[in-house]
A and B are shown apart, each in its own frame.
Chain A
Amino acid sequence: MIGFSNTSHREWQIAATLALDLMIASFYFSGLMSLPAGLAAGAGLGLLIVKVVVLAVMGAALLFGLLRWRFGALVADERDHHIDAKANGIAYGALSFCIVLLAGQLGLDALGLSPWHLSPLLCAHLLLMALLLASGCKALVQLYLYRRGG
């Protein structure tokens, strides 16, 4: 069973980052799905991006401000750097894998060998999803290493 009484400031911060990423991604993609098709989508998308940026800034300020108020300033030591490096390695691996898949699909599409055609907007969204996936991977690996040792 996971106990929260011995959860450190750093673990709370990583969990908050993960929660914020998930919240912003779900807000953005649900907003994107509900946009009308055609010309109106351009203005709607711009407004949605502004809302997402405002939500991200306010959410981060609130969550990290609350954690700082509760635990004080966060100082990293050698174990934090060690875990950060391991998690970054895995996150870059995940991001590279997604980018290779996307580039492969675009290459096949350019040669007329792919049954799917990706519009530039869809490519941008797939890249955004890859970045979010990499960020999520990093946070999960960090949480695992802080709990299980690393």
Chain B
Amino acid sequence: MAKGLIENRIRRLRFEHGEMTQAALAEAVGVSRQTILALEANRYSPSLELAFRIAARFQVPLEQVFQYRQAG
């Protein structure tokens, strides 16, 4: 089965929330700044729990943060 891609709008949401820094978001959701950096660059797909924590921090539904794009 072809592997899909999980995209996200974290960078845009950070700027829409008072230009929140990566470090501030990282601290709020309990990960390192490097993990936020990797997420924004689509180099890491988060666990479901982390995805929900990020969505909760921005007070938006999960699908407004993460989108799944099927390959092919």
Contact = CB atoms under 8 A, between A and B. Distances in A.
A73 to B, nearest CB: 12
A149 B41 contact: yes
Interface string A112-129: 000000000000000000
B34 interface: yes
Q: Please report whether the interface of chain A is mostly helix, strand, loop or mixed according to DSSP.
A: helix
Q: Name the interface size band of chain A.
A: 10 to 19
Interface in A1-24: 8, 10
Contacts of A149: 38, 41-44
Nearest to A80: B32
Interface string A87-110: 000000000000000000000000
A99 to B, nearest CB: 33
A150 B44 contact: yes
Nearest to A78: B47
Contacts of B47: 78
B41 A77 contact: no
Interface string B1-37: 0000000000000000000000000000011111100
B35 A77 contact: yes
B35 A79 contact: yes
Most buried by B among A10, A77, A79, A80: A79
Nearest to B42: A149
Contact of A10 (B31, B34, B41, B46): B34
